[in-house]
Amino acid sequence: MSDASKRTKTLYIGAPACFKLELACQHLARAFGENCYIVGSVTERADWRDVDIVMILKDEDFQREFPDTNAQGTSWEFDPKWLIMTVAISDWLSAQTGLPVDFKFQPRTKANAAHKGRRYAVGLSFEKYTPEDASHE
């Protein structure tokens, strides 16, 4: 098989763990009102070290959640509330999925400027469409 005909993988996580991650991130999305994104080496290669999950918040929401930080700088990485929530959610996601998860919150402007790599939404929810829904349109 030539390199050109090889299938390109989107993620290098096995299906059962990926499904568990999807379910766990649905809870986070409902709690914070934003989606999580899988980023980093797990999107690029099979020899990844950990699964990087980022919840990108609107700048104003980030500032509201972490009021003692500077959303445009990097001071949040030293903020006690940010650190506690980041570590706690990383550990919770790892326990839920069996994966070594590195979770973090980031403000949108800073995340978009600093990270140009692949980003895959995880934790999406879909509502079931019924014929009764059509009658309300």
Residue type, position 102, single letter: D
| CA-to-CA dists, residue 37 to 101, 119, 137, angstroms | 12, 6, 32
> Tens digit of pLDDT for each residue in 46-72?
999 999 999 999 999 999 999 988 766
Its CATH architecture, for the domain 35-123, is 2-Layer Sandwich (3.30)
| pLDDT number for residue 124 | 86
What is the residue extent of each domain of the chain?
A: 35-123
pLDDT band at 1 (very low <50, low <70, confident <90, very high): very low
> Tens digit of pLDDT for each residue in 83-108?
999 999 999 999 999 999 999 999 99
CB-based contact 38:89 (threshold 8 Å): no
**Tokens found for residue 7:** 């299938």
Residue labelled with tokens 């550990």: 91
> Tens digit of pLDDT for each residue in 14-43?
889 999 999 999 999 999 999 999 999 999
CA torsion angle 75 81 86 88 (round to 10): 160
Average pLDDT over residues 111-118: 83
Of 88, 128, 116, 118, nearest to 104 by C-alpha is 88
pLDDT band at 80 (very low <50, low <70, confident <90, very high): very high
| Alpha-carbon gap, residue 83 to 122, rounded angstroms | 22
